[in-house]
Amino acid sequence: MKESRLMLVQYATAVAAVILVSLHLIMQGVIYPYATAISFNNILSVYRNGFYAIFLEALLVVVLVHGFNGVRIILQEFRQSKPWTTWVDAGTVLAIIITVAYGTRTVILAVFGGVTA
């Protein structure tokens, strides 16, 4: 993908992250008292509400794409060479895939998994 397009991705995810993170903070500290917000039963009900599960998945993807693309931009500024660019880009894609997959696993198991001990 062209660098100009990747910067647009960075700005789009930045705006989305501001909105989603604000909503996340409001849920954790305004709608419920913090102690209630982090209680097991409350989190379970949040995950099992389809809208919030999609919201948390969107938050996960947006923040990780923005974060790792941001690190990529910083690393690309340090050095300019074809191998460096290739490795940093590949590492960024790999990091996004691994972390999004791990976070998505949490969301899927929280939504569909049976409650254990």
Q: Packing angle between helix 50-78 and helix 40-47, nearest 10 degrees?
A: 90
Nearest distance in Å: CB 98, other proteins:
10
Alpha-carbon span 9 to 66, nearest angstrom: 8
Cβ atoms of 66 and 14 within 8 Å: the answer is yes
Q: Which of 1, 2, 50, 114 binds other proteins (CB under 8 A)?
A: 114
9 binds other proteins (CB under 8 A): no
54 binds other proteins (CB under 8 A): no
43 binds other proteins (CB under 8 A): yes
Nearest distance in Å: CB 14, other proteins:
5
**Residue written as token pair 């009900």:** 45
Alpha-carbon span 112 to 11, nearest angstrom: 33
Q: Packing angle between helix 3-26 and helix 50-78, nearest 10 degrees?
A: 140
78 binds other proteins (CB under 8 A): yes
102 binds other proteins (CB under 8 A): yes
Amino acid present at 1 = M
Q: Residues interacting with other proteins, by CB under 8 A?
A: 7, 11, 14-15, 17-18, 21-22, 25, 29-30, 32-35, 37-38, 40, 43-44, 47, 60, 63-64, 67-68, 70-71, 74, 78-79, 99, 102-103, 105-106, 109-110, 113-117
